[in-house]
């Protein structure tokens, strides 16, 4: 079968690899139908994702059709449309015992530490397959996984209805966060970005105010929009140099600041901005068994994922797709690789 492998940073190849067979653990064979391109996939391609190992078949937003099941499988059958959980964990370490397998000591993420979804077939455990909503096309269904990331972040942030929420970054991650944050009906949702069309789109999708940080002072404007106090939940969805410091500076006293970036590049931060406000700085990584919750929200019509993918490419043209991402075309929102 064919697969897309990042051999090393900057080198993407179409390779041949053996079609997987079922065993006692990986007892469901899935024919991949679509897989999304995430910012972390781009980071692996460019060598800026500190978690990745090489060579690697990437792709962790993985949807497909069950092709075969092994003995004893009771919840899946051939023909089922499914999405695959990207997290594998040991179940025994401190984090797993505390119910947080997404940060397992021995965490292995499909598409990052072990081979992922940019291939024609995958064999996975029955428990890692979730049924897709019938009305959702494969190309749009890849957005379920990014939405689980947003649900996880909101869970870690302990959002409440009286919160003023600032989301820094209105790209794919920020847009997914906006979809979930607004379900909590907070007092306000402020989006900040340097791209005005993205901010205009955020206003249409539920943001109550926006900050163009290219032209406005993000910290001063965020305080102004929150009556001088500062946001009570600040989410760094930009994950660029300086964004975490800006988040901490904008945040009000005794509030929560969520960080989601994976950069290992040195950046400026200081203890005073955290200690003086007694901020809670909380990381949010991957998702902690959130697929069922997101699929329920989609089925209930509370989260709309149709039309959120802006571009598709045949999966064997992954190089063209990644080149297009690197072009920074302003029309890009989300790209799906399609397996026909």
Instruction: Tell me the per-residue pLDDT of 152-185, one tens digit each, with 9 for 90 and over.
Output: 999 999 999 999 999 999 988 999 999 999 999 9
Within the chain, all domains assigned CATH 3.90.180.10 are found at 2-143+305-338
**Cα–Cα distance for residue pair 166/221, rounded to 1 Å:** 11
Residue 220 has pLDDT above 90, yes or no: yes
Mean pLDDT computed over every residue of the chain: 96
CA distance 269 to 307: 38
pLDDT at residue 333, rounded to an integer = 86
**Considering the entire predicted model, what is its pTM?**
0.93
Residues 86/92/94/95 CA torsion (nearest 10 deg): 10
Q: Report the percent of the chain where pLDDT is more than 90.
A: 93
Domain 2-143+305-338: CATH architecture, name and number where available: Alpha-Beta Complex (3.90)
Using 50, 70 and 90 to split pLDDT, how confident is the model at 38?
very high
88 pairs with which residues across the strands?
Answer: 108
Q: 64 and 122 in contact (C-beta within 8 Å)?
A: yes
Strand 108-109 relative to strand 87-88, pairing: antiparallel
Question: What is the mean predicted confidence (pLDDT) over 66-87?
Answer: 97
Q: Does residue 123 sit in helix, strand or coil?
A: strand
**pLDDT, mean of residues 235-253:** 96
User: Where are the domain boundaries for CATH 3.40.50.720 in the chain?
Assistant: 148-283
Number of residues in the chain = 340
Give the rounded percent of residues in the chain with a pLDDT score beyond 70: 100
Classify domain 148-283 by CATH number: 3.40.50.720
According to the model, what pLDDT value does residue 266 have? 87
Distance of alpha carbon 298 from alpha carbon 54, whole angstroms: 35
**Confidence at residue 264, expressed as pLDDT on a 0 to 100 scale:** 82
Least confident of 45-49, 60-64, 253-257: 45-49
d(CA 35, CA 75): 23
* pLDDT per residue as tens digits for the range 115-162: 999 999 999 999 999 999 999 999 999 999 999 999 999 999 999 999
Gyration radius from the chain CA atoms = 20
Residue 76: band (very low, low, confident or very high) from pLDDT cuts 50, 70, 90 = very high
């Amino acid at each position: 079968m064919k697969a897309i492998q990042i051999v090393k940073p900057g080198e993407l190849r179409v390779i041949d690899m053996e079609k997987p067979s079922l065993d006692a653990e990986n007892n469901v064979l899935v024919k991949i139908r679509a897989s999304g391109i995430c910012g972390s996939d781009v980071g692996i391609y460019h060598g800026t994702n500190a978690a990745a190992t090489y060579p690697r078949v990437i792709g962790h937003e993985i949807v497909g059709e069950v092709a075969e099941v092994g003995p004893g499988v009771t919840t899946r059958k051939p023909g089922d449309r499914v999405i695959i959980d990207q997290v594998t964990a040991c179940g025994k370490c401190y984090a797993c015992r505390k119910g947080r397998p997404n940060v397992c000591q021995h965490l292995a993420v499909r598409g990052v530490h072990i081979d992922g979804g940019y291939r024609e077939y995958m064999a996975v455990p029955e428990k890692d397959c979730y049924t897709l909503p019938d009305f959702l096309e494969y190309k749009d269904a890849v957005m379920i996984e990014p939405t689980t990331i947003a649900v996880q972040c909101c869970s870690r942030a302990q959002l409440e209805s009286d919160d003023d929420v600032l989301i820094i970054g209105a790209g794919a991650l920020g847009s997914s966060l906006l979809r979930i944050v607004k379900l909590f009906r907070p007092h306000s949702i402020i989006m900040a970005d340097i791209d005005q069309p993205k901010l205009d789109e955020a206003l249409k999708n539920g943001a109550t105010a926006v900050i163009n940080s290219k032209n406005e002072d993000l910290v001063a404007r965020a305080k102004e929009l929150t009556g001088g106090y500062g946001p009570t939940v600040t989410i760094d969805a930009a994950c660029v140099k300086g964004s975490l410091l800006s988040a901490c500076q904008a945040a009000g006293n005794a509030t929560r600041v969520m960080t989601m970036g994976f950069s290992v590049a040195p950046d400026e931060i200081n203890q005073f901005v955290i200690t003086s406000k007694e901020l809670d700085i909380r990381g949010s990584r991957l998702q902690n068994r959130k697929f069922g919750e997101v699929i329920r929200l989609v089925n209930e019509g509370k989260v709309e994922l149709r039309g959120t993918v802006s571009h598709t490419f045949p999966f064997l043209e992954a190089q063209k797709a990644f080149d297009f991402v690197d072009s920074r075309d302003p029309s890009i929102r989300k790209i799906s690789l399609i397996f026909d």
